[in-house]
Structure 1
């Protein structure tokens, strides 16, 4: 696959591994083992970019995407029976199927609820929504890749709380991102993260 080859060229073939989704064997995924100042593991779709998303006019050029979760060192991504860690496999499958089956698109700032009504992602991950963001921590590592005149972008999948969604909807995506980063957050999953609005002084 050309995407895998391009990622191997970028990171080295020892840092790129193709796997089958352990909960949904029909889905191929990629693991990227990235040695940053603090190492992270990236769980990424492998073939979502074969689907051309029907983007709005202002998003022309962003039709091809792969989505990913950025996992911290403590994340036991090989434990497929623990729902506090294995939910990443369930959700990366659901998100890829959703965008394909609905013939829709994902772009930076798009959000999706966990359910209707919303429920926490897991016993540890209390957030009830996901937001798609361009890479923050991995801005350099996951810069777009061009393969045969097709530019593939990488969208992180980031859990957010209900009050954060309200802030984003009321104040706009860019203000949300600025506040998110100001609170020293990025796309790396964090079971212990608090809402960016969780303080005695809520600056709007």
Structure 2
């Protein structure tokens, strides 16, 4: 799908809503252009890369996922993409936003990340999610940046049977060292690393209605971070209805 906004399509919060037309045809991937620099960057700031989940079949970009296992000092796992930044995203000409990006999800230490467990969508969906989001901007000539929310289908469906989370928002991580957020490759290229935070349907609607700042304020009040919990509180709902 190609990305477009007619200039008049905005959410109730005033933010533009991007829709898409046809996807681009299949294209060979660009290759792992910055995988070594990204791997070094991850190990410098997050910890040793335990393994890399390599993509078998690729279209347009080759997306791999680097796994940093939990440690005594950092009791949760990280999954970080490489390959999304092989190509620039199709950002609006008038917007001063990053063109090159990679994505990360943060998981509790108990999350199963072995190949056998990946046969069960209850464990695999965070990997599927960041691989899809890393591929999407290039396939549909669009972009991802701060505050962008993406539903899991239309209408949005839960990522797995054990959760009602059914969408995601792109944010800077608050659980990583500040130096991790960007990686300078050369004079022309700087990669921004975003965290992918899964959302409930009501939270996506809240963000569209009231804006990202309102959602983040409620996250703060409920101590919601980018560490994925399939049963975390829904910050857009009270016990008997919506906030």
Greater CA radius of gyration, 1 or 2? 2
CA drift of 1:48 comes to: 0.8
SS at match of 1:106: coil
CA drift of 1:56 comes to: 3.1
TM norm structure 2: 0.73
In the alignment, is the contact (CA less than 8 A) between 2:170 and 2:195 conserved in 1? Answer: yes
Structure 1 residue 196 corresponds to structure 2 residue 235: yes
Identify if the C-alpha distance between structure 1 residues 200 and 90 changes in structure 2 by more than 3 Å, giving closer, same or farther: closer
Structure 1 residue 180 corresponds to structure 2 residue 215: no
Aligned match for 2:131, one of 84, 88, 93: 93
Identify if the C-alpha distance between structure 1 residues 142 and 40 changes in structure 2 by more than 3 Å, giving closer, same or farther: farther
Q: Give me the CA root mean square deviation.
A: 2.4
In the alignment, is the contact (CA less than 8 A) between 2:45 and 2:180 conserved in 1? Answer: no
| 1:9 corresponds to | 44
Aligned match for 2:191, one of 152, 163, 177: 152
TM norm structure 1: 0.86
In the alignment, is the contact (CA less than 8 A) between 2:49 and 2:66 conserved in 1? Answer: no
CA drift of 1:19 comes to: 2.7
Structure 2 gap segments, 5+ residues each: 1-35
Comparing 2-11 with 156-165, greater Cα deviation is found at 2-11
Query: Aligned residue pairs: how many?
Result: 201
| 2:53 corresponds to | 19
Identify if the C-alpha distance between structure 1 residues 147 and 17 changes in structure 2 by more than 3 Å, giving closer, same or farther: farther
Aligned match for 1:80, one of 118, 123, 128: 118
| 1:136 corresponds to | 174
Comparing 175-184 with 35-44, greater Cα deviation is found at 35-44
